[in-house]
Amino acid sequence: MRSRNRSLMASFLLAILIAPGWGSLQAQRERLGVEAASSRPEFDVASIKPNRSVSPARAGFRPNAFEAVNATARQLITLAYGSDPQNVVDEVIGGPAWLDSERFDVSARGATADGVANMAQGRAMLQSLLEDRFNIRVHRERQERPVYKLVIAPGDRPASGLKRAPLDCGTRADTRPAGTPGLAYCGIDRAPGRSTGRSMPMRLLADTLSSRVGRKVIDETGLPGEWDWDLEWSPAPSEPVTPGDITAAPAPADGPSIFAAVQEQLGLRLESGRALLDVLIIDVVERPSPN
């Protein structure tokens, strides 16, 4: 993937957020189906500065705050727009080369303890930040794009990292014999180079992998029901960021690639293919301007 190996470069910025001009931002917000500028939440203060390290990218929303470390502008855009549950985006495309090569640390906060009440509001605030500081303009289309298909790997070698889930999340019923050890919760934990799922369907494993490999992953395993998985790989410096990663320790740097890990640890495989996707196209973006 072309976004995995890029140079590191940016200029230092420290900014107090200022409300953007109404006309162009209002037109974009109407196209995207988001709130008007007069009611859209914004961070009160933010700093943006370069990061020239080779550490894995991390980002996450916290109460009243957003933090990103060593993240590219494209990763920030994907996090802000690509995960909006009201406007699903499978991929973010377009823009200049520096979106994937120059890296930033971002720290943004609101004025009150409840400034970021939930993930949807946090993403809306991050969109405002990107529009204000990167002058970003985007639109949505449906296009045929490269994807990965998650399939069962050939052979009958057992894969210890993928097992039938003993817990039914709908009823909270545990199907294991009494006294059998093991985790019994519903959800996904993640960190750079790590993913742990409990009682989750294959489509959510595919979604988790999508956020790591830079392409939409489509579940074609045919495996029904809910599953437990434990997956660990060596994260690339440009691995896409996802909410929650900021507080978790990354995996060791000397492990397998994510593609090898999926096959060796889960008994599955990522195969290249093409499919129609909902994409976000970057029309205009600029390096963040200084105050």
pLDDT number for residue 78: 87
Within this chain, do residues 135 and 150 fall inside the same structural domain, yes or no? no
- The answer to whether residues 157 and 82 belong to one domain is no
The Cβ of residue 24 has, within 10 Å, a number of other Cβ atoms equal to 13
Q: Highest mean pLDDT range out of 26-35, 203-212, 279-288?
A: 279-288
Region for 195 from its dihedrals, namely left if φ exceeds 0, alpha if ψ lies in -120 to 50, beta otherwise: beta
Is 250 within a domain? yes
In a domain, 1, yes or no: no
Residue 170: its pLDDT value, please? 65
If asked whether residues 179 and 69 sit together in one domain, one would say no
Domain that holds residue 202: 145-276
Shared domain for 125 and 153, answered yes or no, is no
Q: Are residues 120 and 163 in the same domain?
A: no
Query: Are 103 and 172 part of one and the same domain?
Result: no
Band of the pLDDT at 279, cuts 50, 70, 90? very high
Which of the four pLDDT bands, split at 50, 70 and 90, describes residue 17?
very low
pLDDT: which is higher, 37 or 103: 103
Q: Can you tell me the distance from the alpha carbon of 291 to that of 277, in angstroms, rounded to the nearest whole number?
A: 38
Mean pLDDT of 6-19: 25
Q: 130-171, pLDDT tens digit by residue? A: 999 999 999 999 999 999 999 999 875 668 899 988 877 766
Q: Do 125 and 189 belong to one domain? A: no
pLDDT bin (cut points 50, 70, 90) of residue 64 is: confident
The reply to whether 289 falls in a domain is no
pLDDT in tens, 214-233: 889 999 999 998 899 999 99
Cα 25 to Cα 133: distance, rounded to the nearest angstrom: 12
Same domain, 129 and 175: no
Q: What per-residue confidence (pLDDT) applies to 105?
A: 93
pLDDT in tens, 248-269: 555 666 789 999 999 999 999 9
What per-residue confidence (pLDDT) applies to 258?
94
Establish if 68 belongs to a structural domain. yes
Give the gyration radius of the chain's Cα atoms.
20
Amino acid 87: pLDDT: 58
Q: Which residue has the tokens 């020239």?
A: 52
What is the predicted pLDDT for the residue at 268? 96
Whether residue 127 is contained in a domain is answered as yes
Please state, in angstroms and rounded to a whole number, the distance separating the CA atoms of residues 239 and 56: 7
In a domain, 185, yes or no: yes
pLDDT for 276: 95
Of the candidates 12, 11, 3, 13, the one whose C-alpha atom is nearest the C-alpha of residue 97 is 3
**How many domains, the chain?**
2
Percent of the chain residues topping a pLDDT of 70: 69
Look over the chain and give the mean of its residue pLDDT values, rounded to a whole number: 76
pLDDT of 205 over the 60 cut: yes
**Is 149 domain-assigned?**
yes
Residues 262 and 194 in one domain: yes
Q: What is the pLDDT of residue 84?
A: 54
Same-domain status, 26 and 113: yes
pLDDT in tens, 82-123: 765 555 678 889 999 999 899 999 999 985 545 456 777 888
Comparison of pLDDT for 78 and 22, the residue scoring more: 78
- The closest of 195, 187, 204 to 255, measured between CA atoms, is 195
- Look at residue 26 and tell me if it is in a domain: yes
Weakest mean pLDDT among 27-41, 114-128, 166-180:
27-41
Above 70 in pLDDT, residue 38? no
What local confidence, expressed as pLDDT, does residue 161 receive? Answer: 92
Looking at residue 134, what DSSP letter applies?
Answer: H
Q: What pLDDT is recorded for position 256?
A: 92
Same domain, 119 and 158: no
**Residue 3 and residue 6: Cα distance in Å, rounded?**
7
| 124 and 156 assigned to the same domain | no
Percent above pLDDT 90 for the chain: 38
